[in-house]
Amino acid sequence: MSEAEQAVLVDVNEGIMTITLNRPKAKNAANKAMADGVAAALDELDSNDEILVAIITGSGGTFCAGMDLKAFVSGELPIVEGRGLLGLTERSPRKPIIAAVEGYALAGGLEVAISCDLIVSADNAQYGIPEAKRGLAAAAGGLMKLPQQIPPRLAMELALTGDPIDAARALECGLINRIVPAGEALQAARELAATISANGPLAVAVSKQVIQESADWSQQEMWQKQQELVMPIFSSADAIEGATAFAEKRKPQWTGK
């Protein structure tokens, strides 16, 4: 087994891919092998029509404590060119990805979590960008994405103090979607993924795309841009199947076409 395969465990079951960061002795600190492993899994996610949703989580009761500082000192960075930290922070997959967070989601760990579409959190989770405490900055998206996802003054506090917030505060400010008891984040994420995977895959992918991209659209162009993306959905075979299945009171059989 290669170093990347050891650092990242990948499982696919009933259309749901689970990507597990697997360096528990290092609190799943991100190194280059882990970055390569996650990037390969995300490539498989978007290229395999049988996989509908992905979950990223961590082994050993923690999500990810950030970049491996020992590797950093030796000149190694846990990034993939053009894709960012762990091959995710600069380029999101086309299909939905859910973070299942237990324990620490700090520094790069938080940046990976907020690069996912949804976050399911254990009640023992801690979220923060403590880079300033180490003379660094949250350059893998924390400084740019956090002010878009939570109140800017809270994002500023997290960046300048380096202090974390707990799961309850994260839910209160809209950083995460839901809280479950410690040890249950992955199962709750799988239940959420199953709900998503039961929907039309074309509709899910385009809905994600519009929500992500529309933040940069002007008032003058937003309706036209949305129309260009969603109109092919309305003429798809899946749209006809969805309406027919509703009328016939049965589950739709999606083809992704």
Do 180 and 233 lie in one domain? The reply is: no
pLDDT of residue 73: 83
Q: Is 210 in the same domain as 126?
A: no
Examine residue 227 and state whether it is found in any structural domain, yes or no. Answer: yes
**18 plus 126 within the same structural domain:** yes
The pTM of the full predicted model, rounded to 2 decimals, is 0.94
Among this protein's residues, is 76 annotated catalytic? Answer: no
Axis crossing angle, helix 237-247 with helix 222-234, rounded to the nearest 10: 70
Examine residue 253 and state whether it is found in any structural domain, yes or no. no
Give the tens place of pLDDT for each residue, 194-231.
999 999 999 999 999 999 999 899 999 999 999 999 99
- For residues 125 and 103, what is the distance between their CA atoms, to the nearest angstrom? 4
118 and 222: one domain? no
38-83 pLDDT tens trace? 999 999 999 999 999 999 999 999 999 999 888 888 888 899 999 9
> In terms of C-beta density within 10 A (0-12 exposed, 13-18 middle, 19 or more buried), how is residue 192 classed?
buried
Quick check: is 97 in a domain? yes
Q: Are residues 205 and 176 in the same domain?
A: no
CA distance 54 to 129: 24
pLDDT of res. 195: 97
Q: Which domain holds residue 34?
A: 3-197
> Would you state the pLDDT for residue 166?
97
Query: Worst-scoring range by mean pLDDT, 72-76, 91-95, 171-175?
Result: 72-76
Q: Are 138 and 114 in contact (CB under 8 A)?
A: no
Any idea what DSSP says for residue 29? -
Q: Which residues contact 16 (CB under 8 A, 6 or more apart)?
A: 51, 52, 53, 54, 55, 190, 193, 194, 197
Answer yes or no: is 92 within a domain. yes
Backbone angles phi, psi at 118, to 5 degrees: -140, 155
Helix (H, G, I), strand (E, B) or coil at 53: strand
Does residue 43 share a domain with residue 121?
Answer: yes
Q: Do 87 and 193 share a domain, yes or no?
A: yes
Q: Is 131 a catalytic residue?
A: yes
pLDDT digits (tens, 9 = 90+) for 178-187: 999 999 999 9
Domain check: are 47 and 101 in the same one? yes
Q: How many residues does the chain have?
A: 257
pLDDT score for 1? 62
User: Which residue is catalytic, options 131, 157, 184, 221?
Assistant: 131
* 205 and 169 in a common domain: no
Across the chain, mean pLDDT equals: 95
> Which regions of 123-195 does DSSP assign to beta strands (E)?
126-128, 165-166, 178-180
Q: Is the pLDDT of residue 109 over 70?
A: yes
Given a cut of 90, is residue 237 above it in pLDDT? yes
Residue 89 lies in a domain: yes
State how many domains the chain has: 2
Compute the average pLDDT of residues 112-121: 98
Say whether both 25 and 129 belong to one domain: yes
Residue 71's pLDDT is 80
The residue ranking higher by pLDDT, 4 or 12, is 12
CATH code for the domain in which residue 88 is found: 3.90.226.10
pLDDT of res. 25: 92
Model pLDDT, residue 4: 63
Catalytic annotation, pick one of 81, 90, 111, 213: 111
pLDDT of residue 127: 98
Report if residue 255 sits inside a domain.
no
Task: Taking residues 136-163, report their average pLDDT.
Answer: 96
Q: Say if residue 24 is in the same domain as residue 145.
A: yes
* pLDDT for res 122: 98
